[in-house]
Amino acid sequence: MSSVLTGNCKMPDDVPLTKAKPDFKVLQQAAEWFAVLRSPSVSASDVQQWRAWCDADSMHRIAWARVEEISGRFEQVPEADKPHTRATLDIAAQRQRNRRRALKMLTLLCTAGSASWLASQVMPWQAWNASYRTATGERRQVQLADGSNVWINTASAMDAEYGESLRRIRLYAGEILIETARDSNSPPRPFVVDTSQGRMRALGTRFGVRQFDGASHLAVYEGAVEVTPAEGGEAKVIHANQQVSFTAQGIDEVSPTLYAQQAWTGGMLVADNMRLEDLLAELSRYRHGHLGCDPAVADLRVVGAYSLKDPERILAALEETLPIRIRRTMSWWAVAEAR
């Protein structure tokens, strides 16, 4: 029966997983089915009903694949009493090993000796092998060779390279806050931060950079930063108290920065009339597992300052102050819904 979890609820070939987004209800159904099938008391009737649910809609299969993916990353599995989930994790691990081998081969095929940041694409192994990394929930501060300070947020990865003509940070994942120092070299070397979407050149400054899937975000708190998109778009200087998102093709409209955006460097999550769904999305970066939000309560507004040391305490505080409850289908799957 262990093959049940993956062999009979396959992803539809015509829908890429990265582009498929099941709605909240379907995703929650998949999580509940996962909880049923991992139970030692699962029956043949349960399995038959689950198969029927999978076959009923391609989005059901996409949601199931999403839950399997999350389970492989977050669930701790006792060997003796969870054979179904054990099988899922074993298969997920094998898939991950296969991906890593494929990515390694692809990287070896890239043009040898190419150092152009414009042509580079981030591979997962670059984040795994980065010199500076943080785990989920971890934050740290480091001082670089020139005296610049970098605060590294949760689940982030970066490299720092100091050459004769350039000071360079490569952000692979997550978020950093940088306070640049004056370069002692003569002439002074430019200080740049590269992401998948482009290059940011510091003009004597304090600024934050966050890598999203398909976009980068820059927030300038002091000084100024010049942004150049990776595929040759027009460069733009972003000044203090301004922020902007950009892709490899271009730069979005500039908007004002918010102090709350850098509160994480002091271990705080600050909500100033923040939507509940947005707050939970931010909080999910600091805890293991899935944290979702029912659309029925997504627009509830939150005001407060919360310590990131204990994300579960934040969830408890939200339950006390808002008309919601945190429903935990499994230890690693939680959603906020109406009380």
The CATH number of whichever domain residue 316 belongs to comes to: 3.55.50.30
Quote the distance between the C-alpha of residue 191 and its chain's center: 25
Tell me: do 224 and 278 sit in the same domain: no
Determine phi and psi for 159, rounding to 5 degrees. -120, 150
Q: Is residue 108 part of a domain?
A: no
pLDDT at 246: 97
278 and 244 share a domain?
A: no
- Average pLDDT taken over every residue of the chain: 83
pLDDT tier at 10 (50, 70, 90 boundaries)? low
**Whether residue 165 is found in the same domain as residue 185:** yes
| Cβ(242)–Cβ(217) below 8 Å | no
Whether residue 164 lies inside any domain: the answer is yes
pLDDT of residue 305: 94
- 298: pLDDT strictly greater than 50: yes
Domain that holds residue 149: 124-260
Does residue 98 fall inside a structural domain? yes
Q: For the chain, what percent of residues have pLDDT higher than 70?
A: 79
What is the number of domains present in the chain?
3
- Give domain status of residue 111, yes or no: no
Residues 254 and 128 in one domain: yes
pTM above 0.85, yes or no: no
Assess if residue 317 is contained within a domain. Answer: yes
| 193/274 same-domain check | no
Is 328 inside any structural domain? Answer: yes
Same domain for 282 and 298, yes or no, is yes
- Identify whether residues 256 and 298 lie together within a single domain: no
User: What digits encode the pLDDT tens for the residues 61-120?
Assistant: 999 998 998 887 765 434 433 444 444 434 434 444 444 444 444 444 433 333 334 334
166 lies in the same domain as 283: no
- Counting residues of the chain whose pLDDT is more than 90, the rounded percentage is 69
Pick the last residue of a domain from 260, 282, 313. 260
Q: Are residues 49 and 130 in the same domain?
A: no
Does 131 reside within a domain?
yes
* Structural domain contains residue 116: no
> Which of 216, 234, 260 is a domain's end point?
260
Residues 14 and 64 in one domain: yes
User: Are 129 and 163 contained in the same domain?
Assistant: yes
> According to the model, what pLDDT value does residue 178 have?
98
Distance between CA atoms of 240 and 221, rounded to whole angstroms? 5
The CATH number given to whatever domain includes residue 129 is: 2.60.120.1440
> Quick one: 74 and 134 in the same domain?
no
Q: Which of 103, 134, 169 is a domain's end point?
A: 103
